[in-house]
Structure 1
Amino acid sequence: MRGHRQTELPEDFWIPIPLDTNNITSLSPFLVPQDHLGHIGVFYAMSAFMFVLFVAGTTINTLTILCTIQYKKLRSHLNYILVNLAVSNLIVASIGSATCFYCFMNRYMAVGPLGCKIEGFAATLGGMVSLWSLAVVAFERWLVVCKPLGNFAFKPHHAIACCAATWVFALIASAPPLFGWSRYIPEGMQCSCGPDWYTTNNKYNNETYVYFLFGFCFAVPFTTIVFCYSQLLFLMKSAAKAQAESASTQKAEKEVTRMVIVMVIGFLVCWSPYAIFALWVVNNRGQSFDLRMATIPSCLSKASTVYNPMIYILLNKQFRTCLKKMLGMSGGEDEEGSSTSVTEVSKVGPA
């Protein structure tokens, strides 16, 4: 389907209609399989992919939370933020990925309009918390390592306040579609739900909501991440240059450089396709596009529930050591020796 016309139905219904089809009701994404959008094998492949994200995302993030509860030494200010990230990832994996798995298996939005709103809201809320948590991690690294405020100490209560702020910001971003500013509807292959960015119904002011999301929930966090980590890189390069003969300093500089590059790339891979695609549609009204392409950005954002913890948590030596202990895979590692990683982490970053 290279082109389609779009027809508005009352309330929650919005269906992409092929050019040669006139029976709108028969194609409702809440009532019948959307086989006109793709081969049945594509739906089942997406269902399998969502199942993997559901299992891996819930497992990794649940283990992260349980590990933090079990080991007191993990309750540092940085780890509070990482656990906040794990909680948001868990919401997306357990509700968003699980619902998409079920709907792709049935090849339509089998959970109905209410289920669509719940899935869309939960995925958006968790995703926005993740975005802002990544920005907070970068901000915390900048404050602790670069010391722009001198001897200011970033303490646990500061981390808790920042975590609370991520949820406030996320609610500000995800709640409006529940109250008439945009809305949550099926997107892509009609087996996942998200904010309405592709219809032209002025009743919901979709364009202004998309601009708001792009600016407040993508541009601001991304700018924060790039600024903070670039400052961290400059500091590490200066330290490495001043101590050119120090092998440990050179190694730390390379590790931080690699970490920052992976973090920024991970952020872009996760969120830029969704943001750019939605922004393009809003600014190119009337241009034909394949609605199925919207499935790709949606899946990439949900995949962040797996690779975010891999980047920010499992590469954290202290978390990794405690996780192995909890799973009985410590291999005789010294628990107290691993506690020194708190100091090392606060010097060079979360990995």
Structure 2
Amino acid sequence: MGPFFANSTFQSKITEEADIVVGICYIVFGICSLCGNSILLYVSYKKKNLLKPAEYFIINLSISDVGMTLTLYPLAVTSSLSHRWLYGKHICLFYAFCGVLFGICSLSTLTLLSTVCCLKICFPAYGNRFKREHGRILIACAWTYAAIFACSPLAHWGEYGEEPYGTACCIDWRSTNVHVMSMSYTVVLFVFCFILPCGVIITSYSLILITVKGSRRAVEQHVSGPTRMNNVQTITAKLSIAVCIGFFAAWSPYAIIAMWAAFGSIDKIPPLAFAIPAVFAKSSTLYNPVIYLLLKPNFRSTIAKDFTVLRQLCIRSCFCVKMLQTYRLTLNTGLRTFKVKSESRCNALPIVEGCSYFPSEKHGDTFEYFKSCPKCCQEKLSAMGSPSQESAALENNLLVKMREGSKKSVKVIVRGEKSTELENLEITLEAVPVHCAFTDL
């Protein structure tokens, strides 16, 4: 590249406070542009079967704006806040290439949009033949046209370099006064990428305004025919005019300063005079969705409907998450409580040997077993510790019942027959309170 680019130190030429303001502006513009154009593309995708051929150019303009936002804004923001260009020579070339590519593509798209609107409104016999396939072909031509001018400095027809204010890159305007090739490239760029598109756009919308005026007169005179204009065409024309006005309002200051630097004395231009138009030029990426939001009712209604659905989904998801968390907390608490109670009950009611209805060891005399059973159970239960208050209360109730039952009389009738092999006993218990106390548990 040029000598200035090779010897550049990539230091900012404006004050640090101005760089911070520029960086903040880039942050705001970048967020608004990315959100607005993404919403516009989303709505266009949802209504892709209802799109008019001319609206394909608006979609392409949004794609170009998103590309510029994603490639230029992050580099410009970080460099402005750092008060110098951070990324070196090769990223500077990439930055300049993307700026020229997306800028010329946007301008070419607006030029084609104005031409198609003019054909549909002013010359409906030709405009009604315009189909979606024609729109796609013209969009491909717009990208090819922009790519030719963006790649030319990489092929040494023109040069890329640092902007005069130091924290961004674009066409090297200084080399225009030094190299003949750079001068020729700048002249061709100025004619075919600014003057000619401006002329086509102004001519197209002038014809549209004249036709609209004639259509209003025809409507007032109740005349039907080709002079009456469709309402959809009127809305499309208003949108395209507003988008073009916004684009030229953003880029015209930078174009004027650039031509002054290319064909005049760049040393007489203060760096801040380059920085401010550059900020306005990059703000062109957010005009397209804002204009659509203000001027197209269907666009607003679709956004409002989708945002209502999105809000309901968010509310439902938040409610479900909250309910799930509450359910999990309640379930965990219940499980812990159940586990503690189960452990306490298991510890409170152990298996006490010698207190079963069926004796664990063989007694020689039945009367001795029933006589010793309450005493045995009382001793073993009192010897074991109470793990909890509930188990202690349970043991106390058990002892009270056993004491109450031990005071009652027990009538036992024993009938048996002696033999050499077995000793059969038939015992009839009329009242055994201790046994009842154990079976109740």
The interval holding the TM-score normalised by the smaller chain is 0.7 to 0.9
Deviation at 1:254, TM superposition (A): 9.6
Asked if 1:224 corresponds to 2:200, the answer is yes
CA RMSD of aligned residues (A): 3.1
Q: 2:32 corresponds to which letter in structure 1?
A: A
In structure 2, the partner of 1:186 is 162
Identify if the C-alpha distance between structure 1 residues 197 and 10 changes in structure 2 by more than 3 Å, giving closer, same or farther.
closer
CA distance in 2, matches of 1:201, 1:70: 51
Given that 2:177 and 2:183 are in contact with CA atoms closer than 8 Å, whether structure 1 keeps it comes out as no
Deviation at 1:165, TM superposition (A): 0.9
Identify if the C-alpha distance between structure 1 residues 76 and 193 changes in structure 2 by more than 3 Å, giving closer, same or farther.
same
In structure 1, the partner of 2:256 is 276
Given that 1:53 and 1:306 are in contact with CA atoms closer than 8 Å, whether structure 2 keeps it comes out as yes
153-162 or 286-295, which moves further after superposition?
286-295
In structure 1, the partner of 2:297 is 317
Deviation at 1:182, TM superposition (A): 1.9
Identify if the C-alpha distance between structure 1 residues 82 and 261 changes in structure 2 by more than 3 Å, giving closer, same or farther.
closer
Deviation at 1:227, TM superposition (A): 1.0
Task: Name the count of aligned residue pairs.
Answer: 305
Identify if the C-alpha distance between structure 1 residues 14 and 318 changes in structure 2 by more than 3 Å, giving closer, same or farther.
farther
CA distance in 2, matches of 1:330, 1:314: 22
Identify if the C-alpha distance between structure 1 residues 128 and 266 changes in structure 2 by more than 3 Å, giving closer, same or farther.
same
In structure 2, the partner of 1:125 is 101
161-170 or 74-83, which moves further after superposition?
74-83
CA distance in 1, matches of 2:117, 2:286: 22
Given that 2:110 and 2:244 are in contact with CA atoms closer than 8 Å, whether structure 1 keeps it comes out as no
Identify if the C-alpha distance between structure 1 residues 114 and 256 changes in structure 2 by more than 3 Å, giving closer, same or farther.
closer
In structure 2, the partner of 1:294 is 274
CA distance in 1, matches of 2:51, 2:199: 28
CA deviation digits over 1:188-219, x for unaligned, max 9? 32111111123356457222121111111111
Deviation at 1:220, TM superposition (A): 1.6
Asked if 1:13 corresponds to 2:3, the answer is no
Deviation at 1:151, TM superposition (A): 6.5
Deviation at 1:276, TM superposition (A): 1.9
Given that 2:293 and 2:299 are in contact with CA atoms closer than 8 Å, whether structure 1 keeps it comes out as yes
Partner SS, residue 305 of structure 2: helix
CA distance in 1, matches of 2:210, 2:290: 25
TM-score (norm. length: structure 2):
0.62
Given that 1:183 and 1:204 are in contact with CA atoms closer than 8 Å, whether structure 2 keeps it comes out as no
Partner SS, residue 243 of structure 1: helix
Deviation at 1:110, TM superposition (A): 0.4
Calculate percent identity across the aligned residue pairs.
25
Identify if the C-alpha distance between structure 1 residues 146 and 77 changes in structure 2 by more than 3 Å, giving closer, same or farther.
same
Unaligned runs of 5+ in 1: 1-7, 16-27, 332-351
2:135 to 124, 142, 159: 159
CA distance in 1, matches of 2:299, 2:287: 15
CA distance in 2, matches of 1:163, 1:68: 16
Identify if the C-alpha distance between structure 1 residues 164 and 73 changes in structure 2 by more than 3 Å, giving closer, same or farther.
same
Given that 1:321 and 1:330 are in contact with CA atoms closer than 8 Å, whether structure 2 keeps it comes out as no
In structure 2, the partner of 1:22 is none
Any residues of structure 2 matched to 1:186-205 within 5 Å, and which?
186-200=162-176, 202-203=178-179, 205=181
Deviation at 1:287, TM superposition (A): 6.2
The structure with higher relative contact order (CA 8 Å, sep 6+) is 1
Unaligned runs of 5+ in 2: 223-227, 312-441
CA deviation digits over 1:23-78, x for unaligned, max 9? xxxxx11xxx42xx222111111000011111111111122222222333344312
Partner SS, residue 230 of structure 1: helix
Q: 2:308 corresponds to which letter in structure 1?
A: G
CA distance in 2, matches of 1:14, 1:66: 45
CA distance in 1, matches of 2:146, 2:110: 13
CA distance in 1, matches of 2:266, 2:164: 18
In structure 1, the partner of 2:186 is 210
Deviation at 1:307, TM superposition (A): 1.0
TM-score (norm. length: structure 1):
0.77
In structure 1, the partner of 2:23 is 47
Given that 1:181 and 1:209 are in contact with CA atoms closer than 8 Å, whether structure 2 keeps it comes out as yes
CA distance in 2, matches of 1:148, 1:14: 57
CA distance in 2, matches of 1:85, 1:257: 16
1:303 to 275, 283, 287: 283
Deviation at 1:180, TM superposition (A): 1.1
Identify if the C-alpha distance between structure 1 residues 329 and 277 changes in structure 2 by more than 3 Å, giving closer, same or farther.
farther
In structure 2, the partner of 1:105 is 81
CA deviation digits over 1:80-130, x for unaligned, max 9? 211100000001111112211111011111011111111111121111111
In structure 1, the partner of 2:39 is 63
1:267 to 238, 247, 262: 247
Any residues of structure 2 matched to 1:129-140 within 5 Å, and which?
129-140=105-116
